A and B are shown apart, each in its own frame.
Chain A
C-alpha cells in the first residue's frame, strides 16, 4: 500500500501489475512489449490530462462539524479541539481582533492552514495545464496547486506554496483491461503539501500558527449521482511552534450547478464568513 499525504511518491498504481499482466495475456501489451516500429516520442500527458477526478466547478462548504467554531467567531478562551500548546494559549489570550484589523491583518484567518475550513464557496479551475486554481468567495483568496517540479525559490505568503500530485488507482475489469479513459481510470485522489506560509490564525479568536507550519491535504471526490457530489478535504496541520500534535480536520464541500450563489466578501475577524 502506498503512503498517504506525506509521501513524495508518484502514482498509487496498486492494481497496475494486474492490469499489465492481464493485458499481456490478452495481447494488449503496452507498447514497449510489442514488436513494432519505433514511433515518435509522445509528450507526457499533463497533470490536467492525467486527472483521475474532476474537482473543477463551484462548491459550497457544508458546516456540519465543529459548527460553533466555524460559523461564528468563538469567544475568548474557546480553544477546544485544537491541540494548541501553552505558548499558543498565551498568544491567543493576549490577541485582539480590533488591533489586528486596524493593522491590516484581517486576512490572517484565511491562510492555507484553515482556508478550506471557513464557511465559503469555492471556484476551482485549471489555470494552466500544470496548475489548479482554487478561489474562495469569503475573503477573496486564491490558492494555486502546482503539479510538477516546484520552483527553486519561494517566498512566504498567506497561501504559501502548494505542491500537488495525483494518487491514481489503476483499476482493471475482469479481463484485466484498464477501466477509464486513456488506459487509466477515473479513480484517484489529489494529494497536496503546502509550506512557505506566513504566520496566521487557526481560529478567529486568536489561536495562531507559525511560519514553520506545513499542511498536508487529501482531496477525495465522492459521487452518488450527477446532482449528489461532494469534495472532502482531510487536512493535517503541523506546527512545531504552537501545536503539540497535528491538528487534523475534515472539510466537506457540496457541488453546485453554477456560480449563481457566489458572494465575494472581504476578510473579517469579527464574523464567521
Chain B
C-alpha cells in the first residue's frame, strides 16, 4: 500500500510538472526602467488637479473624502514623509529599478523594485511561494507582493497596504486595497497594467496602464529624490510638488475649480464608474462646451519629458 501511495505521489508530481510553467524559465526584468508614456505628464509631474475625479470609479465614501480633503494636509508633520502605496507606480513620475534576488540554488526568490524617489517604498515581489500574512498582520505602504509568471508576463498580487492616498489631490485608499499588476517586457520597453480594487472607496476596479523604457546599464535618473523633503521646501520646489497644497482649502472653491478653468460639469468631475465609459461622453454633449478663453493653466509641455518622466511645465 505504501509503495502504491509513493507511485501515486510520483505520478501526481509528474502531472503537476506537466501542467505548470517552470519557475526558472522567466523573462528577465532586471534594470533601470523609466517612464516612457507621455500621457498625463502634467498629472504625473504637478499632481492631479483639485477635485478632478473624472474617470476614477469612486464610490460616495471616496468622493466625500476627496471633496473634503484639506489642501494643506500634506504639511502636517506626521504626513510630511508619508510614502505612497504601491499603486503610485501608475501615478508618479518614476519607474523603478528591478533587481533579482536568487537563493543559493540560483532560483529566483524575489524581484525587488526600488524607486528613485523617497516617497515610494521598496517593493519586494516574492516569487518563491511565500505564505501570505494574516489580514490582521502588519500593513505597510509597500504591501505584501507575490508574483508568478504567465508566459511573457509577471503578474503581481498586492495586499496588506496601509491606509493612504489614492491620488495626490487627496483621494484616499484603504488598507483593504488589493492590486493586480501585469508587467510584460518587450525588448527595451515594458508595458504594465494595474487593476486597483478597493471596496472601501471604489465602486469598481480602477484600471491603469503605462509604458516604461529600459535605461542603459549603470545609469539612473538624473534627479533622484532620495530623502524626504519637508513641506516648506516642497512649496518652493519649482512651482509646487503637490498642487493641491497651494489651493484654498474651501470646499466650494475647490469644487468650482474644474468648472472655472475647463468648463467641466460637476457631474463629470466627481467621478464614479460611469465616467469611465464612452456613453458618458454622449451625456456630456449637451452639458459641456469648450472654454471660450484660450488655455490659461497647464497648457503646454516644455523642455523634455524623457528620460525620467516629469514634464517641466512652466506656463502656469
Task: Please measure, in the bound complex, the distance between the C-alpha atom of A79 and the C-alpha atom of B42, giving whole angstroms.
Answer: 11
Stretch binding the partner chain, chosen from A32-40, A126-134, A217-225: A217-225
Q: Contacts A62-B276, A66-B39; is A189 near B188 (CB within 8 Å)?
A: no
Interface flag for B290 (CB, 8 Å): yes
Nearest opposing residue in chain A for B268, CB measure: A71
Given known pairs A220-B193, A250-B39, A272-B281, the reply for A83 and B301 (CB within 8 Å) is yes
Q: Determine chain A's interface SS by DSSP, over half rule.
A: loop
A sample of 15 cross-chain residue pairs with beta-carbon separation below 8 angstroms, ordered by A number, consists of A4-B186, A5-B189, A7-B187, A52-B151, A60-B278, A64-B56, A64-B208, A76-B290, A79-B300, A80-B311, A119-B281, A121-B278, A187-B152, A248-B38, A250-B211
Q: List chain B positions with a Cβ less than 8 A from chain A.
A: 14, 16-22, 25, 27-28, 36-42, 52, 54-56, 149-153, 180, 182, 184-189, 191, 193, 195, 206-211, 262-264, 268, 275-282, 284-285, 288, 290-291, 293-295, 298-301, 304-306, 311, 313
Contact among A12, A71, A174, A222 for B54, CB-based, below 8 A: A71
- Say which residue of A2, A67, A249 sits within 8 Å of B37 (CB atoms): A249
Contacts of B55 in A (CB 8 A): 63-65, 67, 71
Q: How far is the CB of A202 from chain B (nearest CB, A)?
A: 11
Contact of A65 among B22, B27, B40, B263 (CB under 8 A): B40
Do A174 and B17 have beta carbons less than 8 Å apart?
Answer: yes
Q: Which B residues lie within 8 Å of A82 (CB)?
A: 38, 301
Q: Which of A18, A76, A174 contacts B294 (CB 8 A)?
A: A76
State the CA gap A62–B55 with chains docked (Å): 8
Residue A149, interface by CB 8 Å: no
The docked-state distance in angstroms from the alpha carbon of A186 to that of B278 is: 30
Closest to B44 in A: A81
Query: In this assembly, does A31 line the interface, its C-beta being within 8 Å of a C-beta of chain B?
Result: no
Q: Are A72 and B306 in contact, with the CB atoms below 8 A?
A: no
Binds B, one of A41-49, A102-110, A153-161, A164-172: A164-172
Q: Does A259 contact B (CB under 8 A)?
A: no
